[in-house]
Amino acid sequence: MNNLNYRIIFIFCIIFIIIIISIYILQSNNKNETIIDKDNTYVNNRSCNEIMWETRYVQKDTNSRNETLLFAERKKWNQKEIYIKFNSINFNSYNYVSNESAIQHENLGNYIQQINVSAYDDENMEQIATVNIYEIENISNKCAIAIQFENDENYYIYINLYYVPNTLNDLVNDLNLKEIISISSISYNYKYRNKEGTEQNENIEFENIKENDILNILFNNLSLKNLHEEANLHREYEMSIKCNILLLNSDIQINITNDDYLTTNVLGTEKIFYIGNQKKQEFINYIINNYIGHKIVYVDDTEDEETYPDDKILTIYNSVKQ
């Protein structure tokens, strides 16, 4: 009889332990949730009712970069800047394209060589120019070079649009990315269901981001392969990191997609790496729980000015390179 009692007690203990472990696993999974339901979902133990985004009204500048580009295209040959006339240069089996900006002399690397380049004017006549080619400090020639035209004291940046790194490590090292990148803000495509069960979308923006926070999380596995054959311009972004590479006078984005990829348009074409759902959720949760977000509402300049308080309206200007 005593043996029977011991067996029953032992079985109940086993069942109790299994229940405790199951509850722990369920709670752990809930902590990693990033799909937000305002009624019952938690992000790192914070309910959605606690995540109240302050609204920031934004009015975009009406000047269009496209209009500026069209004006530049209408210029006659002798009115165009030299880097527009010769906007594409073939060198060392790569095709480099002008990004229409100059670089300081102190940011040059080694002198490479002098070559002749050609382009065709408005009359379809071939024009020849002599240029000196330089490295850009700490950046691989596979990514970008500096060009100095004869009788011109400036050095112009030319980038290789067709640069294809094999791995994330190649991308980081070839561009010296960890040292030259700065982050301006992060946009979050915040999805949730309201009390009626309807899916809602809000654009949440985080600022004052520490670069090391981003790079240490997203770039910790440098062995990831560049899956450029899977590039998809219609892929939906869950988070977009707005960055600047000041040395190349280049604005770029690093995106976290809904289907667990990290993509970037650095040097003008998409590079894509699969980071997985766990890494994606780790990053999104980290940003939500460590930075202050603002809900962005864009204001049309034709709307009633009294609708929004002046001190809450910001103006975003389109950046046009001079």
Instruction: List, for residues 167-198, the tens digit of each pLDDT value.
Output: 999 999 999 988 888 999 999 998 877 788 88
Q: What is the pLDDT of residue 94?
A: 93
- Residue 16 phi/psi, 5-degree rounding, is -60, -45
Give pLDDT, residue 72: 53
- Per-residue model confidence as pLDDT tens digits over 102-142: 999 999 999 999 999 999 998 999 999 999 999 999 999 99
Please name the amino acid found at residue 84.
I
User: Alpha-carbon Rg of the chain, whole angstroms?
Assistant: 27
pLDDT reading at 315 higher than 50:
no
**pLDDT interval class at 47 (50, 70, 90):** very low
Task: Look at residues 152, 182, 184 and name the one whose alpha carbon lies nearest to residue 248.
Answer: 182
Report the mean per-residue pLDDT for the chain.
Answer: 80
Q: State the pLDDT confidence band at 24, using cuts at 50, 70 and 90.
A: low
Residues paired with residue 145 on neighbouring β-strands, in sequence order: 158
Mean pLDDT of 46-60: 62
Listed residue (34, 24, 26) closest to 282, CA to CA: 34
Residue 7 pLDDT more than 90? no
Determine contact, residues 239/260, Cβ cutoff 8 Å.
no
Q: Quickly state the pLDDT bin for 213 (edges 50, 70, 90).
A: confident
- Contact between 201 and 189 (Cβ < 8 Å): yes
Stretch 60-71: mean pLDDT, rounded? 53
For residues 56 and 59, the model is more confident at 56
Task: Identify which of 267, 271, 228, 270 has the alpha carbon closest to the alpha carbon of residue 96.
Answer: 267
Q: Given a cut of 60, is residue 61 above it in pLDDT? A: no
Sign of CA dihedral 224, 226, 229, 235: positive
Q: For 79-83, what is the mean pLDDT?
A: 92
Q: Are the beta carbons of 319 and 250 closer than 8 angstroms?
A: no
**Higher pLDDT among residues 315 and 237, named by residue:** 237
Long-range contacts of 63-72 (CB under 8 A, 24+ apart): 63/317, 63/318, 63/320, 64/318, 65/318, 65/319, 65/320, 68/320
Of the candidates 220, 239, 222, which has an alpha carbon nearest to the alpha carbon of residue 284? 239
Query: What's the rounded mean pLDDT across residues 67-74?
Result: 55
pLDDT at 63: 54
Mean pLDDT of 64-85: 72
Of the listed ranges 4-13, 39-48, 173-182, 307-316, the least confidently predicted one is 39-48
Report residue 44's pLDDT band, with 50, 70 and 90 as the boundaries: very low
Quick check: pTM over 0.95?
A: no
Per residue in 224-279, pLDDT tens? 999 988 776 678 899 999 999 989 988 999 999 999 999 999 998 899 999 999 99
State both tokens at 303.
């709307």
pLDDT-derived band of residue 43, with 50, 70 and 90 as boundaries? very low
* pLDDT of the residue at 188: 93
Distance, CA of 254 to CA of 186 (rounded, Å): 9
Residue 42 CA to residue 46 CA, distance in Å, equals 5
**What's the pLDDT at 127?**
93
pLDDT above 60: residue 69 = no
What is the model's pLDDT at position 52?
65
Taking residues 287-301, report their average pLDDT.
83
